[in-house]
Structure formats: structure tokens, C-alpha cells
Amino acid sequence: MSLERLQKALDFQAFYEQKVAQAADYIKERLSGLKPAFGVVLGSGLGELAGSIEGAVTIPYSDIPNFPMTTVPGHEGTMFIGTLEGVPVVGMKGRKHFYEVADGPLNTGMLLTVFPVHVLASLGVENYFVTNASGGLNPNYKVGDVMIITSHINHMPNPLLGRHHDFKRVGSQDQVWRFQPMNGAYDKELTSLLRDAGFSHDSHVHEGTYMAVTGPTYEAEAEAIAFRDGFKADAVGMSTTPEVIIARNRGMKAVGFSCITNVVTEDGINATSHEEVKAVLESSEVKNRLTSIVRKFFRSYQEENS
Ligand code: HPA
């Protein structure tokens, strides 16, 4: 590793709070008075929803100081700031996955993975809406279904490991906690709104536990069986839990769902590929389902909060 890369990592690690503040300041200047209530991760399959964000100011991630760029095909890197069904939001098309940066020195991989969440919190955004693609472990799940996340199993490195950061909780002068409770991590009221939003897609909408692994491998038979029958997880994926841990640590409320892009057989066979995952998310039936649920969620949120 070059000394220059090491120096850059050391700088990012040591001055993490300032790096987040620089990114937040850059975005703040472009909010034109809007006070976003939600950060929305437009994961795979939800990219088109960005087009529904009205009056959107778009910012390429590459313009935001210190912001991580995405390197996975199908994951664009653009921020959309505007209103969704009347709710002011920051839409993020594209996320950094830990597997892309896990070899970064000095914990910078995880610090980069959760960087956007810190930026949202520093902007005062109170809610984090997360979406992702995952493999279905629960035998009732079919490809293209939606699983509202009610709890999770974090099988990735914990983003709060290491130096205790000097960040404040949203809407407060309190410093973030060293020991973060994760009970009720997925907000009950927001989850209930999401459940109602999914009601008309009834048979395709489930609720369950999301298990996060680093990937980038898909599961071997024994792993899939252990996650399903041992851990009792309903779906498995490679993102989300570090983000939700940081969202909670910063005092934000979290809510979200997984799109089931592939299913594991009873024998634990997960014979999927990135191409299959992308193809499911590109099908118009699935895209329409995801878009309809998200829109309905924000419409109800707006009705309840206006
Ligand atoms: N396993 C892990 N991550 C995933 C999967 C899976 O089967 N499908 C989509 N992301």
C-alpha cells in the first residue's frame, strides 16, 4: 500500500466528523430552504422513483466533498433533493456497499459505507427510509415480493466499533451514545404506515428479519440453512444494517423494505447471480410494485403530518 493512500486513510479516520460536516455544508447550500424529513435510499429497482421527486436539485456524489462514489454496475451515484408526494426528501440513488471498500485501511471501509447516513443526520434529517435487494430464506417468499424489515441480524462489522465519534443526535445537543440499543430499530409507527402502503399488494408483501452479511459471495447451502433455520432470518443481503445502526445512533427513525430478488430452496441452494438480481429489479411488475408502495407511504405520511 502506498504511503499516500495510508496518509489519506489516516486523515479520513482522524478527521471523520469534519469530513462529514464539509459534505453536509456543501449540500446545505443547495437545499434552497427545503427541510428534508427523510433520507430515502433508492436501492436497486427504485432508481426510477428519483424521477418522481418534484423540483429536484440533483447533485452527483462526485461533487460532494468526501462523499463515497459507487462502483457497482447498476448503482448510480446521484442525490435528488425535492419533494416526494409533498414530503421533502433527500433521495440517494446508489449506495456504497461494505464489500467494495472492506480492504480500506484503518476502518475507512465501514466509515465510507455509513458516511451518507452521517451526512443526512448532520443536515437534521429525522427519518431514514431504506430499501435493498435480498435473497429470500423464508419458504413463503417468492421472487419479486417485498419484505418490510421488522428487525435485523447484523453479521457485518459493526460501524460503531473503534473511536467514539463526536457527533450529535438529530435535534439535540447530546453526543451519540457509545452503547447503542437496537431494540425497536425499525420505527413502529413508520412501519405501520409502510404496512398500510403495501396492503393492496397483500400476497406479495411480508414482514420479517433481514440478515446482513458482507458478501460479495452468495450463500453456500449450509450457510443459507443456518441463517434460515438457526438464525431464523427471513431474507439475506449485503447492506442496510450498518446504515440503520448509524441512523439509530444519530437519533433518526428507520423504516424500510427488501425486494426479494431470488429465493433459496428447501435444501439451501441459492443459485443466483448478480445478473439475475438485476433482471428481477428491472422487471416492470416489480418496479411498479416498489414504486407504488413507496409513493403510497409518502402520501400517507404527508396526510398525517400536514
Ligand atoms: N444473498 C445475499 N445478498 C443478496 C442476495 C442473496 O441471495 N440476493 C440479493 N442480495
Residues 85, 100, 126, 243: which is the catalytic one?
A: 100
pLDDT at 303: 95
pLDDT at 2: 86
Protein residue closest via CA to atom 3 of ligand 1: 237
Question: Quick one: how far is CA 269 from the chain centroid?
Answer: 26
Residues 75, 118, 152, 204: which is the catalytic one?
A: 75
**Alpha helices in 102-187, H assignment, sequence order:** 108-113, 115-122
Question: Quick one: how far is CA 133 from the chain centroid?
Answer: 10
pLDDT at 72: 62
pLDDT at 49: 84
DSSP state of 230: I
* Residue whose cell numbers read 460503531: 160
192/208 Cα distance (integer angstroms): 13
- pTM equals 0.96
* Residue whose cell numbers read 427513525: 253
**Alpha helices in the chain, H assignment, sequence order:** 3-14, 16-28, 98-101, 108-113, 115-122, 188-197, 221-225, 241-249, 274-282, 284-305
**How far apart are the CA of 143 and the centre of ligand 1, in A?**
12
Classify 263 as helix, strand or coil. Answer: strand
Protein residues whose CB sits closer than 6 Å to any atom of ligand 1: 133-135, 215, 218-219, 236-238, 261-262, 270, 272, 277
Tell which atom from ligand 1 comes closest to the C-alpha of 264.
7
Residues 16, 61, 99, 141: which is the catalytic one?
A: 99
Known catalytic membership, residue 273: no
Class of domain 3-305: alpha beta
Known catalytic membership, residue 99: yes
Q: Tell me the pLDDT of the chain (306 aa) as tens digits.
A: 689 889 999 999 999 999 999 999 999 999 988 999 999 998 776 787 888 898 889 999 999 999 998 766 655 799 999 999 999 999 999 889 999 999 999 999 999 999 999 999 999 999 999 999 999 999 999 999 999 999 999 999 999 999 999 999 998 999 999 999 999 999 999 999 999 998 877 789 999 999 999 999 999 999 999 999 999 999 999 999 999 999 999 999 999 999 999 999 999 999 988 888 888 888 888 888 999 999 999 999 999 998
DSSP state of 74: T
Known catalytic membership, residue 239: yes
CB 156 within 8 A of CB 97: no
Known catalytic membership, residue 48: no
Q: Which of 210, 219, 264 to mutate to test the pocket of ligand 1 (most atoms within 8 A of CB)?
A: 219
Q: How many CB atoms lie within 10 A of CB 245?
A: 23
Known catalytic membership, residue 238: yes
Known catalytic membership, residue 203: no
Q: How many CB atoms lie within 10 A of CB 295?
A: 15
Domain boundaries, the chain: 3-305
pLDDT at 141: 97
79/85 Cα distance (integer angstroms): 17
